[in-house]
Amino acid sequence: AQKITQTQPGMFVQEKEAVTLDCTYDTSDQSYGLFWYKQPSSGEMIFLIYQGSYDEQNATEGRYSLNFQKARKSANLVISASQLGDSAMYFCAMRSNNAGNMLTFGGGTRLMVKP
Amino acid sequence: DAGITQSPRHKVTETGTPVTLRCHQTENHRYMYWYRQDPGHGLRLIHYSYGVKDTDKGEVSDGYSVSRSKTEDFLLTLESATSSQTSVYFCAISDETGGSRVPQYFGPGTRLTVL
């Protein structure tokens, strides 16, 4: 069975600073993918970034980067130069090739950016 | 943005009544999913479809049924709604030709309240 754990229910960050949101996962599969989604107060789920288990480099998308440590089974999201619009819920999710096409989500982290 | 709509966006109903939620996509993607979101649980998969008339159960399928008679439409039915089914329901789609690397894209959500 797959499991995603996000241990930070809520976090504050000062505007323009970087912040790391933690995500650890548990799977016995060798081939899997890790995703991060953002959910602002308006409610929609927005895809941010993807990391494959066989990718040799950490994924980056603009101000978002993923600190992938395979041996530790962690896939932390780093947001650089935080903006007020980054205030939202952030969800880590995993898909394993052996678990069909299902995404397993963590419980989320609420990020609040202070001006 | 992926072309995904959900209807209705909000619904209040009474215990024991049937409810059908609709997801419509304009992307011609093969895979469609229904999730529910509850505080502290992230998103959990209810059912998914991998083609017309091809569906399978997810993590929390009890009390729900689905149907897919056309590529673009995926219906979620609560045969006899219960208060425990009060939740926000999200539809998602994905193009699986890219394998597990492909993210799922989400609709705007339906907020269902069962009194």
- Gap between the Cα atoms of B50 and B22, Å rounded: 17
Contact call for B42 and A33, based on CB within 8 A: no
Rg (CA), chain B: 13
Compare all CA atoms of chain A with the CA of B88 and give the residue at the minimum distance.
A43
φ, ψ for residue B2, nearest 5 deg = -65, 140
- What is the average pLDDT value for chain B, to the nearest integer? 92
Question: Is the Cα torsion angle A6, A90, A112, B112 positive or negative in sign?
Answer: negative
φ, ψ for residue A32, nearest 5 deg = -160, 165
For the record, the structure tokens of A64 come out as: 């978002």
The Cα-based distances of A71 to A25, A59, B67 in angstroms read 11, 17, 41
Are the beta carbons of B13 and B73 closer than 8 angstroms? no
Q: Could you list the pLDDT tens digit for every one of the 115 residues in chain A?
A: 789 999 999 999 999 999 999 999 998 888 889 999 999 999 999 999 999 999 989 999 999 999 999 999 999 999 999 999 999 999 999 987 666 678 899 999 999 999 9
Q: Is the peptide bond before B8 cis (omega within 30 degrees of 0)?
A: yes
3-class DSSP state for residue A97? Answer: helix
For the record, the structure tokens of A47 come out as: 């895809």
Q: Is residue B1 pLDDT above 80, yes or no?
A: no
Pairing of strands A46-52, A60-61: unpaired
Which of B 24-83 lie inside 8 A of A, CB atoms?
Answer: 31, 33, 40-45, 48, 50, 56, 58-59
**Which residues lie across from A90 on neighbouring strands?**
A38, A109
